[in-house]
Amino acid sequence: MPNSRPEFTIADRAAAEQLIDLALAEDLADIGDLTCNALIGERDRAEVLVVAREAGIVAGLPIGELVFEKVDPLVGWVPEVPDGTLVEPGQIVARAAGPLAGILIGERTTLNFVGHLSGIASLTHEFVEAARGTSATILDTRKTLPGWRSLAKYAVRAGGGTNHRMGLFDGVLVKDNHIASWSRQVGNSRLADAVRQARAESPTGVSVEFEVDTLEQLRDVLEGRPDIVLLDNMNPDQLREAVRLRNELAPQVLLEASGGITLQTVRAIAETGVERISIGALTHSARCFDLGFDFHHID
């Protein structure tokens, strides 16, 4: 069954090109591929099938074209399915054809990108499916490797998830350390007042989110009417009570559950009535999706 069809944006392409440059510099330095130089002729040609070794969501196929543009523009890269497709073991997801040396030089870099991003997309898909039928949306976090955030969040979209803020620059998320510092400065521990100040000092239209870890804090913060309240490490009973309080006091505020959520627990959390579930594991703990370069023919 097809899944999401994410847009591979200009920002995603720019991030990919920077990372590809780093990857190729690691592999080739200023010397090149010593193995290909020793054994592969300039006239050798091949066609390779990129094959899924397991079931999951594929993501990152546009990056293959970018890799081979840098390695050898004579290598043609053709995706067989769009990103966001649920593939089965043995399914062909892309083809590469052209000079054999170029294919071999770009093979590992391409597999590293597509395998990593497909792993994120596949794990996201599992969480989305586990929460299906509830009102909860599955979101990512900022727990990404430097340089990989744009691509990791692209893969989350490919898996059917939703992106949280991209960084510190595009959303307010007030956590316990922010509140501790603010309280000392102003001599006030009322979270509702902190919400009002955060709203007043932020650009118009920017989402204001507050983290709480008790129901007492939730009651306080709801008085200030943030856009979102993050409910940190609450169990399902606490989350249900949080939803009841929100519905009573500020029904327009969205509730987001977060903290240690797994595939085994996400369904119960989604069924409490929260609108959002944010999961750092989508990007920091996804394993590499298993893909292979299978030679179709060599000339």
Residues noted as catalytic: 108, 143, 175, 211, 232
* β-sheet bridge partners, residue 277: 138, 257
Residues 6+ apart with CB under 8 A from 171: 164, 165, 206, 207, 209
Closest CA to 131 of 278, 284, 289, 231: 278
Instruction: List, as own/partner pairs, every contact residues 72-79 make where C-beta atoms lie below 8 angstroms and the sequence separation is at least 24, other chains included.
Output: 72/98, 72/99, 72/101, 72/102, 72/105, 72/106, 74/98, 74/99, 74/102, 75/99, 75/102, 75/103, 75/106
Classify residue 60 as left (phi > 0), alpha (psi -120 to 50) or beta.
left
255 vs 153: CA distance, rounded Å: 21
220 vs 240: CA distance, rounded Å: 17
149 vs 109: CA distance, rounded Å: 18
Residues 6+ apart with CB under 8 A from 122: 56, 57, 159, 286, 289
Contact 105, 71 (CB under 8 A): yes
119 vs 116: CA distance, rounded Å: 5
Alpha helices (H) in the chain, listed in sequence order: 10-28, 34-39, 62-71, 100-130, 149-158, 176-186, 191-201, 215-222, 236-249, 266-270, 281-284
